């Protein structure tokens, strides 16, 4: 099946600093990627839809100036958490549908990035 | 937009018994309904999915049923084993090729040996 990677798998940063998370589709092209956030013992909540070559679409309540998304190529989307605060500590997961692939309906998830802000 | 409700939030069963998790959705345009298993600290793992043109799908001990009229779908796990213990999420989407999945709140399944 298709593979999506994320880097880093975990990161600890100090309050006020910025952190960049990468999401890569390794063996397929993804014109669209989705970023989710998952707090402990909760479900996955969509943060934004990342579109290659255009601006991301953010969900209501997600600050676009705080969570910067760049989808610069057909295999890479990045999420930058700017001026991170402890309440941003969470599990961030990306997913990508395989555009034009044999399994049209399946979305492939990255392994997630555990962010801890101290 | 789509809203997915999932019940129960926790479920404990004896090993060998069956487990059933139910979800309802609100958007009649949704046509893809996957189920995911998530272990602590890991990514959601697709275990089975169903499309709106199918009423039931089975894969070994796992089955999913869909009632489009009532807008609900269910996951059935038979002959449960301790390794089935995890959090299970249902999801729905009208067009998963370019629209995101909307997830239920999850069910924590515990299989007691």
Look at B41 and A114 and tell me if their CB atoms are within 8 Å.
yes
Of B33, B85, B102, B93, nearest in space to B64 by CA: B33
Of B43, B97, B102, the CB nearest to A97: B97
Residues on chain A touching B102 (C-beta within 8 angstroms):
46
Residue B96's pLDDT is 81
Residue B22 corresponds to which tokens in the numbers above? Answer: 């139910």
Per-residue pLDDT reduced to its tens digit, B70-99:
999 999 999 999 999 999 999 999 888 788
Question: Which H or E element spans position B24?
Answer: strand B19-25
Residue A100's pLDDT is 61
Per-residue pLDDT reduced to its tens digit, B37-76:
999 999 999 999 999 888 999 999 999 999 999 999 999 9
Per-residue pLDDT reduced to its tens digit, B9-31:
999 999 999 999 999 999 999 99
Say how far apart CA B88 and CA B32 lie, in whole Å.
Answer: 17
Look at B32 and A114 and tell me if their CB atoms are within 8 Å.
no
Residues on chain B touching A32 (C-beta within 8 angstroms):
98
Residues on chain B touching A45 (C-beta within 8 angstroms):
103
pLDDT at A103 over 60: no
pLDDT at A101 over 80: no
């Amino acid at each position: 099946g298709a593979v999506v990677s994320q880097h880093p798998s975990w990161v600890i940063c100090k309050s006020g600093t910025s952190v960049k998370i990468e999401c890569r589709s390794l063996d397929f092209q993804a014109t669209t990627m989705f970023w989710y956030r998952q707090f402990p013992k909760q479900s996955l909540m969509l943060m934004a839809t990342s579109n290659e070559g255009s601006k991301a679409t953010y969900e209501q309540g997600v600050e676009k100036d705080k969570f910067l998304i760049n989808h610069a190529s057909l295999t890479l989307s990045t999420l930058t958490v700017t001026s991170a605060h402890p309440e941003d500590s969470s599990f961030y997961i990306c997913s990508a549908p395989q555009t034009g692939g044999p399994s049209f309906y399946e979305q492939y998830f990255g392994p997630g990035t555990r962010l801890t802000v101290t | 937009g789509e809203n997915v409700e999932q019940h129960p939030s926790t479920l404990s069963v004896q090993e060998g018994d069956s487990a059933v998790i139910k979800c309802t959705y609100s958007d009649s345009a949704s046509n893809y309904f996957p189920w995911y298993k998530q272990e602590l600290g890991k990514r959601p793992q697709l275990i089975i999915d169903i499309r709106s043109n199918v009423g039931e799908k089975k894969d070994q001990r796992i089955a999913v049923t869909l009632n489009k009229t009532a807008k609900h779908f269910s996951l059935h796990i038979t002959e449960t084993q301790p390794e089935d213990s995890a959090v299970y999420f249902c999801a729905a989407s009208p067009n998963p090729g370019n629209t995101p999945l909307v997830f239920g709140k999850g069910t924590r399944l515990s299989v007691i040996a």
